[in-house]
Structure 1
Amino acid sequence: MNKLQLRNVSKTYKNGVKALDEVSIEINSGMFGLLGPNGAGKSTLMRTIATLQQPDRGEIFLDDIDVLNQKMELRKVLGYLPQSFGVYPKLSAEKLLHYFAELKGLSSKAERKKMVDYALEITNLYEVRTKHVAGYSGGMKQRFGIAQLLLNDPKLIIVDEPTAGLDPAERHRFLNVLREIGTNHIVILSTHIVDDVKELCTDMAILNGGKLLCHKKPIDAVLDLENKIWGLTIDREDIEKYETGFSLISSNYNQDNSLNIRVYDEAKPGEGFVKVQPDLSDVYFVHLKADETEAINSQS
């Protein structure tokens, strides 16, 4: 089983923004979800693990590879799909994959064909392999991105915000591809979409302001909130009262413009509240709320 270890990884940009703050974590084979809002430091962390930028301090190991000092060794076993990955020439998926396979050192034609066919099959692109990638839909381009990173059979796969902008059907197809490859590799899925993690990941962490707020299996993180999430329907005008008087973690509108609110509390917070079943969104918002409160208290 492969293992990725980060120890006290920190990065502060020249403008003073602390993008990573003493991040220490261990990630094993399987699907790992890195959750956090935009600007949380997720892309900085992904780029750092992928050796595209250097941290100020810290250590990263993939099995026996010292990532920060053996960059080329890491890149040989890395598959990285950034948020945007360029414009493709007017070549078919099949021809492009053969070209990428040659670049990755697959000189045997038979071996190359075997890997290209495998990558096309697993990403459900085999039927459209002769079409130009430039004419693919957004979801197909994302799946092609996965196909090209599979060519060197990587130990570690990093995908950064892969479902942003995909329609529901394309998102579903893309997540199925990730699920398929997630059994034999370390796959890190960086996202701000809680449902992506809920549907796919056996392990997860929440990052905000460059700090790791939580690292747990999704099922355990949800269990921790059992009997601590409370729901109430309120008038829209009363929202401020509940924001100041309770630990409000989320709200959503009903058709009559009333609001369903969810509150975190160890005991029933007040009249009318009913206990509701916690979910992964509650985990996410509870940790972000606690982090926000801590930041406010430290400034006062």
Structure 2
Amino acid sequence: MAGANHSRVTEFVLLGFTDPQQLLFVIFLLVYVTTLVGNLGMMVLIKTNSQLHMPMYFFLGHLSFLDICCSSSIMPKLLSGLLAERNIISFNGCITQFFFFAVFGTAEAILLAVMAYDRYVAICEPLRYLAVMSHGVCVQLVVGSYAAGSLNALVHTSALLRLSFCGPNLINHFYCEIPPLLLLSCSDTWLNKVMMATCIGFIITTSLLAIIVSYTCILLTTWNICSAKGRHKAFSTCTSHLMAVALFYGSAAFLYFCPFSRQGEDQGKTASIFYTGVTPMLNPFIYSLRNKEVRSTLRRAMNKVLFCMYPHRSCSN
């Protein structure tokens, strides 16, 4: 890659954070472990419980998978860098890290819009829900999310490979991302900035528009529900998704649409912490705490585990 790019830089130094490294290592390790345990637990819970074999939880399982992938493309390198004197990443490694994070991040943005459409069909067209959201349709929507993520990542990665990096090689960030990389290029980055604003702006705008339209229809439908209990049940299935949307899109919009300047890099790192660490960690807890079916299934699973810890009790169903 470096040869094709005519780049003098063969490696980058990720400056990361100026705070105490040992403390940050412990914090980010806890965040990463919690992310893995929470999302893997959600995936296993959905896979092993037949009551959760529905479109809503099919998408939720893939959201958990994407959260694991997003976090895993960043956190291991960040943790190893916090233990080293200098966090060095090769040019090829930097481009690879960016590519996979872009794939999973874009796919998650689109999947959140798909989940909003799923809630619209479930609440506004309940009698047609299983027909409209058949297993084949759900698979196509998920595959489409991954395909769109791969295409978006390929476009931006190809554009980055056309740039020259002549030095310096100090990235004021804790992972490889477009804005700080463009600041280091000795090539004209105008096209890259236009492509970033266009592609990412299109993805965020269309996904948010789909979410807003879906929830507007949901709001109008629930307004006509006579019983307060019915309205509460309808809204309770949506609040967890709206919380996840607010966390994800809020940090992503700040990260990509803040001004391209060195002064804005510290704010970009703060937004990236939410984007890459906090949001993937919180998503399984948001859905499990706000979803009655998930709470009930989790409670039964935990009770079964506790019962199996006692030799005098039966562990059978």
The alignment's TM-score, normalised by the length of structure 2, stands at 0.25
The alignment's TM-score, normalised by the length of structure 1, stands at 0.26
Between 1 and 2, higher relative CO (CA 8 Å, sep ≥ 6) is seen in: 2
More strand by share: 1
